[in-house]
Amino acid sequence: MEAKAASRVGLVVLLSLGLAFVLYTYLGHVNNNTYLVRISFPDTMGLAKQSIVRMQGVEIGEVKSISLNTTHPPFQPVVTVAIDHKYNIPQNFLWRIRSGLLIANAQLDVIAPASPAAALFLPKDNSAQASGQPPQDLLSSVSPQLSQTVGSLKGTMQDVRIRLDGLTGQLHTLLGHTDALVQNANRSLTSAQQMINNPKVKNDLIDTISNFHTVSLQAAITSKQLSKQFTVLVKNGRGQLNRLSDATTSLVLKLGDTLDDAREVVRKLTQQVSDPRLQRSLQETLELGRSTLASVRQITSDLHQITGDPKLHTTVMQTLQNLQSATKRANEALGKVNALLGRVKHTANRAAHLHGPKVITTVDLSQQFSPGKGRLDINSQLYLTPQNFLSLGGYDLGQDTRLNLQGGRMIGKNSDLRLGLHAGAPGVGADIGLLKGTWVTLDLFNLHRTRLDLKGYFRVNSRASLWVGGDNLLHHPVPLAGIQYRP
């Protein structure tokens, strides 16, 4: 009995020792079919003993031990890993510690280089050494591809910001030039109005009217004298006087036209003294004065032809002297009018050519219903030409302020297309006129998550309009309503 009990005890002891050995081998990760590699790292980043070593996602070993090399500064941790003999690791492969939110414990990854080339394998005699890669940030540890994408996006946003800063500077310069141009135009218009209202100018016009009136009277007297003298000549002359009669008839008709032109000039100038449309009327008066001068000169030429007859020399010379005197006075009066009109026309032309571009500013105050939230948008349209404009403004000012910057072109009387930045994102827009006083606005923007906003407007008066619509109609529509005001 005692022998059987002893044998049973011995068997239990042997089984216990065997089980303990198996448990020690399994739990202690004892594996003789491995070789050691020592890697130096700047920081272990939470790497622990028995952490997994992976190569291209496959487990090839584990961390055997971690120690700190203090033989010389700077001190560096040394990680000793045990690699299964069946796996070969090229010497140019990279050793990197990976940790982050998506894995429980830090792991050691063996990564192929960006440009892999033929290389020798690490020796399997436990003498292999390597240098680990420096630690990465959290995003690179979680997803290297995402980290590269974020880096590229940062570079792109920086470039866009630089370009927008340059464009903003150019817009400020353009607005400065526009303000200066408008100020110059206002000053020129004020100067022109002051000149028109100047009493001295009115006095000059009155003097000019008086001179023309005098010229008209003298021309009438001269015409009567010529008529009497020509009548006598017709009665006393034969032969040559028949030819002279035709020339005289033509001369009298021209004198009549001259008198009519002179009277028309006097009437025009009389009306223009009190007429606010001074520039246009003065120009017409100038043309009539010049026509009068041309007629007088034609008369003088005809008279010189008539005086070629020796028998009529004495009689016609007296007539010419009277007519030349009248012509001289008419020229003096026309000279004054020309000088006056030149000053007025120069000022008016200078004022007419100075005009600034058309600017339309709109203020939109809206309230969305679900969830309840107010919003303020301010935009200005600068019409560089009658068909092209530049839209600049702010979206949701005071809360989530974003930039609106679009170039537009009219496609009809009440419709246009826009392209650029809307709410800080690339997009396109359109304003479509419907019935009188109603129109629809569409904005499609945000390339990553496409968004469509729609508004319908109804004009209340020349400055205010009511509108209703919806934001983000493609995904989560939000109804809203508001009012638009044009200062």
Rounded CA separation 72/175 (Å): 66
Among candidate residues 403, 397, 368, 377, the one with its CA nearest the CA of residue 479: 368
The two structure tokens encoding residue 10: 């011995």
Q: What is the signed CA dihedral for 24, 30, 32, 34, rounded to 10 degrees?
A: 170
Q: Taking residues 6-23, report their average pLDDT.
A: 73
Pairing of strands 128-131, 34-40: parallel
Query: What is residue 464's predicted lDDT score, i.e. its pLDDT?
Result: 92
pLDDT band at 37 (very low <50, low <70, confident <90, very high): very high
Which stretch of DSSP H or E encloses residue 392?
strand 388-395
168-186 pLDDT tens trace: 888 888 888 888 888 887 8
**347-350: long-range contacts at Cβ-Cβ below 8 A with a sequence spacing of 24 or more?**
347/188, 347/191, 347/192, 347/195, 348/192, 348/279, 350/188
Among 14-28, 81-95, 271-285, which range has the highest average pLDDT? 81-95
Calculate the average pLDDT of the chain. Answer: 76
The two structure tokens encoding residue 277: 């449309």
Asked if the peptide bond before residue 371 counts as cis, ω within 30 degrees of 0, the response is yes
Rounded CA separation 61/89 (Å): 12
> From residue 431, how far is each of 319, 349, 413, 422 by CA, in Å?
76, 37, 11, 14
102-136 pLDDT tens trace: 556 788 899 888 877 777 899 988 888 898 888 76
Query: What is residue 91's predicted lDDT score, i.e. its pLDDT?
Result: 87
Phi, psi of 98 (to 5 degrees): -115, 125
Q: Taking residues 185-199, report their average pLDDT.
A: 73
The two structure tokens encoding residue 111: 């990564």
Query: What is residue 351's predicted lDDT score, i.e. its pLDDT?
Result: 39
pTM above 0.95, yes or no: no
Query: What is residue 19's predicted lDDT score, i.e. its pLDDT?
Result: 74
> From residue 36, how far is each of 31, 58, 79, 126, 127 by CA, in Å?
11, 18, 10, 4, 7
pLDDT over threshold 60, residue 392: yes
Rounded CA separation 116/94 (Å): 11
144-157 pLDDT tens trace: 667 778 778 888 88
Residue 306 is classified by DSSP as H
The two structure tokens encoding residue 103: 């894995």
Cβ 223 vs Cβ 323: under 8 Å: no
pLDDT over threshold 80, residue 75: yes
Query: What is residue 154's predicted lDDT score, i.e. its pLDDT?
Result: 84
Residue 136 is classified by DSSP as P
Q: Taking residues 387-397, report their average pLDDT.
A: 91
The two structure tokens encoding residue 340: 């006056």
pLDDT over threshold 60, residue 35: yes
pLDDT over threshold 60, residue 330: no
Query: What is residue 316's predicted lDDT score, i.e. its pLDDT?
Result: 44
Rounded CA separation 205/334 (Å): 11
Among candidate residues 108, 118, 113, 80, the one with its CA nearest the CA of residue 94: 113
> From residue 301, how far is each of 158, 222, 321 by CA, in Å?
82, 16, 13
Q: Taking residues 190-203, report their average pLDDT.
A: 71
Across 361-395, b (16+ Cβ under 10 Å) vs e yields: ebebebebeeeeeebbbbbebbeeeeeebbbbbbb
Rounded CA separation 453/472 (Å): 6
Comparison of pLDDT for 251 and 126, the residue scoring more? 126
Query: What is residue 8's predicted lDDT score, i.e. its pLDDT?
Result: 75
pLDDT band at 315 (very low <50, low <70, confident <90, very high): low
Query: Is 195-352 in CATH node 2.60.120?
Result: no
Residue with tokens 């129109």: 439
Which of 238-247, 323-332, 478-487 is predicted with the least confidence, judged by mean pLDDT?
A: 323-332
Comparison of pLDDT for 413 and 264, the residue scoring more? 413
Which of 73-77, 134-138, 265-269, 306-310 is predicted with the least confidence, judged by mean pLDDT?
A: 306-310
The two structure tokens encoding residue 73: 């500064």
Query: What is residue 487's predicted lDDT score, i.e. its pLDDT?
Result: 82
Q: Do domains 195-352 and 358-485 have the same CATH topology?
A: no
Query: What is residue 152's predicted lDDT score, i.e. its pLDDT?
Result: 83
Q: What percent of the chain has pLDDT over 90?
A: 22
Residue with tokens 């990465």: 136
pLDDT band at 426 (very low <50, low <70, confident <90, very high): very high
pLDDT band at 303 (very low <50, low <70, confident <90, very high): very low
Domain extents in the chain: 1-26, 31-136, 195-352, 358-485
| Helical spans, DSSP H, in 197-277 | 199-236, 240-272
Residue range 358-485, CATH number: 2.40.160.40
Q: Taking residues 24-43, report their average pLDDT.
A: 78
Rounded CA separation 81/65 (Å): 7
pLDDT band at 99 (very low <50, low <70, confident <90, very high): confident
Q: Which residues contact 261 (CB under 8 A, 6 or more apart)?
A: 288, 291, 292, 295
Rounded CA separation 147/227 (Å): 108
Rounded to a whole number of angstroms, the CA Rg of the chain reads 51
SS3 category, 61 = strand
Among candidate residues 366, 357, 360, 358, the one with its CA nearest the CA of residue 462: 360
